[in-house]
Amino acid sequence: MALAPGRNATIEDVALAAGVSRAAVSKVLRDAYGVSDSMRERVTAAMTELNYRPRIAARAMRGRTFTIGIEIPVLGNQFFTRMLSGAMHALADTRYQVVIAPAEEKSRQGLRAIEALVDRQVDGVIAVSPRVTPEALERIAAHTPVVMFGRHDNSEAYDTVAGDDVVGAKAAMAHLLELGHTKIAHLTLPESDEEHESPHGLRLQTYVGEMERAGLAGEILVIRTDEGQDAAYRTLRDALREGAEPTAVFAAHDELAIGALHAVAEADRPISVVGYDDVPIASHPALGLTTVDQPGDEMGARAIQLLLERVGGRTDAVHEVFEPQLRVRTSTTPPA
Amino acid sequence: MALAPGRNATIEDVALAAGVSRAAVSKVLRDAYGVSDSMRERVTAAMTELNYRPRIAARAMRGRTFTIGIEIPVLGNQFFTRMLSGAMHALADTRYQVVIAPAEEKSRQGLRAIEALVDRQVDGVIAVSPRVTPEALERIAAHTPVVMFGRHDNSEAYDTVAGDDVVGAKAAMAHLLELGHTKIAHLTLPESDEEHESPHGLRLQTYVGEMERAGLAGEILVIRTDEGQDAAYRTLRDALREGAEPTAVFAAHDELAIGALHAVAEADRPISVVGYDDVPIASHPALGLTTVDQPGDEMGARAIQLLLERVGGRTDAVHEVFEPQLRVRTSTTPPA
DNA sequence: ATGAAAGCGCTAACAG
DNA sequence: CTGTTAGCGCTTTCAT
């Protein structure tokens, strides 16, 4: 214990204890070329002896941090949990560590969170930010590899991983139309969430398009709500009280759909509800939420894979699209 | 644009552009004492001009990183979401940034994630790790402020914020006993999750104690399951198939309770279920889960407050306990 | 195979 | 009020 109390061991301490140079320690740390077995042994011994842990911040000033940053807009949405678990899984056997930065509640654009990550020298960023401009992302992507999750914009500077929202929304609408619904409302987020080829924007456009195609342009009803189950519940409850009479609601994602189910249960009217994502709770028999399954874990894993490729040097953009799948459950029935 | 392409602006670039010294720039950055208005102006102008962002890693080598690390064991549990949103809220108007490190699925002890955070020079850590030893935590807390969430151990080295699990579990049991249940099972996590004064350990002990106190020692039935709704569902389903005949299940937390509700729905037997935490979905009318409400957001906010106090220099330990509250809903009824 | 030394971008004395 | 300078702990040529 040649250590001053209150101070953690540094590479210097290890070098001293092992009787070698700092460079040598650094080499065994990164198992770089050119270390004899005997040296490696002594150094390793000294490291465990001193309980040495390399300071990533110091390393950051020269090389990699082996940290991947993931920005998500809301913590509550279980779809992101699926994505994250796929991502973590993909990174499980690597030296990389995941850190998550949730966007603040207020200015939910997420740009601040992404920049906070970049400021902390992550090796790459995965972000879910429908509202950040491509320009801002390109500025960031010029220095740090970026994969955007859920977006469909075609930048050359960053990759994207998204579900096919048009196909998914069409499946949801086809299901409701086949059941015989005509008064189908769409429950979605505020308009500001629709920019930049966002999932919700596409789902909305598809809803409108399919209604028109079915000759139901006159029945189009778009209900806007804030993020979250509870806000969705309140919004739909109020809309129903104020005279809206849909027989079916297509929600932009499952959190909203679950809130909708709450309002429907209270209103005691037979209104079908379709969600999007297939979060774990959707298949619970108490909810039985019909929804569009997106393979969140696969998408998360793929996002990591693309990001690591970029960290490894790839510079041309890849834009990947995953096929969603309708899951029919009890929350949808023919209109009364 | 005196910048080499592909390189981000540094404090040096800003100093050059503004025609001042690096120290001056650093000062306006941290708005330290001793900067004239004119200098501040020129420097600020240069910073925006060059799109300058300080590298936290470099700052980390001298001072604070203004980063708080939060370690959580599982992403899926919505109670942690409540805690996180309380924590983020408490930090909203400060310079601090939150980063979250989820423990890996496999070795879920969380120590690795905590250390990953510390290696990245966070100014303080909030962690939810029932299975990490106090010794390991004390070693970490010697250099980095730590607040443990959910634990009841009485270390001098770190603070704790927890719910009163004994009171909560007693309330749950009293409710079931008052309804007339005698065959009450307890659904909880594997034994390894009970160490170090963990919430689940205390809830289990209280369950056993209350059963004995009610003269029901012979009816004690502890069912162990892995983490997660789905695992809980499968475990209880199998237990019911194999002959277990409880009329009520007290689950160690809501995720497990929701899985239990699934199994109960399938078994088509009138089994009451009580959870713990009161996650947002618990109050959904489709579930109507009776549960013990813990003020997760308040607890998260308090954890931040304590952590910032420690960052600010406090060294004596604070151990805070929050009172839970039973929420009776439709998932509990008298036995048939 | 090993070590010496330069430097990453920032902060914090300290001088002026 | 402003600038000089010495590091923080690590990686990385470049000698040896």
Q: List chain A domain ranges.
A: 11-54, 67-163+296-324, 165-294
User: If you average pLDDT over residues A15-30, what whole number do you get?
Assistant: 92
**Do B100 and A100 count as a contact with CB atoms less than 8 A apart?**
yes
Q: Which amino acid is at B219?
A: E
**Do residues B47 and A45 lie in contact, with contact meaning Cβ atoms separated by under 8 Å?**
no
pLDDT band of B214, cuts 50, 70, 90 = very high
pLDDT band of B278, cuts 50, 70, 90 = very high
pLDDT band of A3, cuts 50, 70, 90 = very low
pLDDT band of B108, cuts 50, 70, 90 = low
**Do B56 and A121 count as a contact with CB atoms less than 8 A apart?**
yes
**Do A102 and B84 count as a contact with CB atoms less than 8 A apart?**
yes
Nearest to B71 by CA among B90, B84, B54: B84
Q: DSSP secondary-structure letter at A5?
A: T
pLDDT band of B4, cuts 50, 70, 90 = very low
**Do residues A232 and A276 lie in contact, with contact meaning Cβ atoms separated by under 8 Å?**
no
The predicted pLDDT at position A225 comes to 97
**Do B284 and A261 count as a contact with CB atoms less than 8 A apart?**
yes
Considering chain A, what percentage of its residues have pLDDT values greater than 90? Answer: 87
Residues facing strand D, Cβ within 7 A: A 7, 10-12, 22-23, 26-27, 29-30, 32, 54-55, 58-59, 61-63; B 19-24, 27, 33-36, 38-39, 58, 61-62
**Do residues B110 and B121 lie in contact, with contact meaning Cβ atoms separated by under 8 Å?**
no
> Residue ranges of the alpha helices (H) in A71-164?
78-91, 111-119, 134-141
- Is 70 exceeded by the pLDDT of residue B5? no
**Do B120 and A258 count as a contact with CB atoms less than 8 A apart?**
no
Token couple for B131? 């299975």
Tell me which chain B residue has its CA closest to the CA of residue A91.
B104
Q: DSSP secondary-structure letter at A110?
A: -
Chain A residues closer than 8 Å to B98 by CB: 101-102
- Is 90 exceeded by the pLDDT of residue B6? no
CATH of domain B67-163+296-324: 3.40.50.2300
- Is 90 exceeded by the pLDDT of residue B193? no
Non-local (6+) Cβ contacts of A41 within 8 A are: none
Please state the CATH superfamily assignment of the domain spanning residues B11-54 in this structure: lambda repressor-like DNA-binding domains (1.10.260.40)
Non-local (6+) Cβ contacts of A300 within 8 A are: A82, A83, A84, A85, A86, A87, A88, A89, A90, A149
Non-local (6+) Cβ contacts of A119 within 8 A are: B53, B54, B55, B56
- Is 60 exceeded by the pLDDT of residue B156? yes
CATH of domain A165-294: 3.40.50.2300
The predicted pLDDT at position A104 comes to 79
The predicted pLDDT at position A177 comes to 98
Partners of A126 in the β-ladder = A70, A147
Chain B residues closer than 8 Å to A120 by CB: 56-57, 65, 67, 97, 99, 120
- Is 60 exceeded by the pLDDT of residue B62? yes
Nearest to B119 by CA among A229, A188, A97: A97
User: If you average pLDDT over residues A182-189, what whole number do you get?
Assistant: 98
Tell me which chain B residue has its CA closest to the CA of residue A63.
B57
Fold equal for B67-163+296-324 and B165-294: yes
- Is 80 exceeded by the pLDDT of residue B195? no
Closest partner residue to B53 (CB to CB) among A54, A119, A285 is: A119
Helices (H) and strands (E) in chain A, counts: 12, 12
Distance in angstroms (rounded) separating the CA atoms of residues B306 and B26: 29
Token couple for A196? 């930049």
Which chain D nucleotides are covered by protein, judged by CB under 7 A? 1-13
pLDDT band of A4, cuts 50, 70, 90 = very low
**Do residues B68 and B97 lie in contact, with contact meaning Cβ atoms separated by under 8 Å?**
yes
C-beta atoms surrounding B318 within 10 Å: 15
Which of A67, A99, A264, A290 would you mutate first to test chain B, the one with the most B CBs within 10 A? A99
Distance in angstroms (rounded) separating the CA atoms of residues A31 and A95: 13
Distance in angstroms (rounded) separating the CA atoms of residues B281 and B288: 9
State pLDDT tens for residues A167-180: 999 999 999 999 99
The predicted pLDDT at position B107 comes to 63
Which chain C nucleotides are covered by protein, judged by CB under 7 A? 1-13
Distance in angstroms (rounded) separating the CA atoms of residues A112 and B91: 14
- Is 90 exceeded by the pLDDT of residue A293? yes
Most confident segment among A58-67, B37-46, B214-223: B214-223
Which nucleotide is closest, CA of A14 to its C1'? D9
Tell me which chain B residue has its CA closest to the CA of residue A92.
B104
- Is 60 exceeded by the pLDDT of residue A289? yes
Q: Which of B77-91, B110-124, B194-208 has the lowest mean pLDDT?
A: B194-208
- The H or E element spanning position A188 is strand A184-188
**Do A57 and B120 count as a contact with CB atoms less than 8 A apart?**
yes
C1’ D1 / CA B24, Å: 10
Q: Strands (DSSP E) along chain B, which ranges?
A: 67-72, 97-102, 124-127, 146-149, 159-163, 184-188, 221-224, 248-251, 272-274, 291-293, 319-322, 325-327
Q: How far is B298 from chain A (nearest CA, A)?
A: 16
The CA–CA distances, whole Å, from A161 to A313, B127, B186 equal 19, 31, 42
Token couple for A156? 């050359």
**Do residues B259 and B231 lie in contact, with contact meaning Cβ atoms separated by under 8 Å?**
yes
Q: Which amino acid is at B196?
A: H
**Residue A335: φ, ψ to 5°:** -65, 155
> Which residue, counting CA atoms, is nearest to the C1' of nucleotide C9?
B58
**Do A120 and B142 count as a contact with CB atoms less than 8 A apart?**
no
The predicted pLDDT at position B7 comes to 74
Distance in angstroms (rounded) separating the CA atoms of residues A222 and A204: 8
Q: How far is A33 from chain B (nearest CA, A)?
A: 25
The CA–CA distances, whole Å, from B4 to A140, A274, B10 equal 16, 52, 11
C-beta atoms surrounding B245 within 10 Å: 11
State pLDDT tens for residues A295-332: 999 999 999 999 999 999 999 999 999 999 999 999 99
State pLDDT tens for residues A202-247: 999 999 999 999 999 999 999 999 999 999 999 999 999 999 999 9
Chain A residues closer than 8 Å to B300 by CB: none
User: If you average pLDDT over residues A267-275, what whole number do you get?
Assistant: 96
Tell me which chain B residue has its CA closest to the CA of residue A55.
B119
State pLDDT tens for residues B223-270: 999 999 999 999 999 999 999 999 999 999 999 999 999 999 999 899
Closest partner residue to B104 (CB to CB) among A81, A88, A117 is: A88
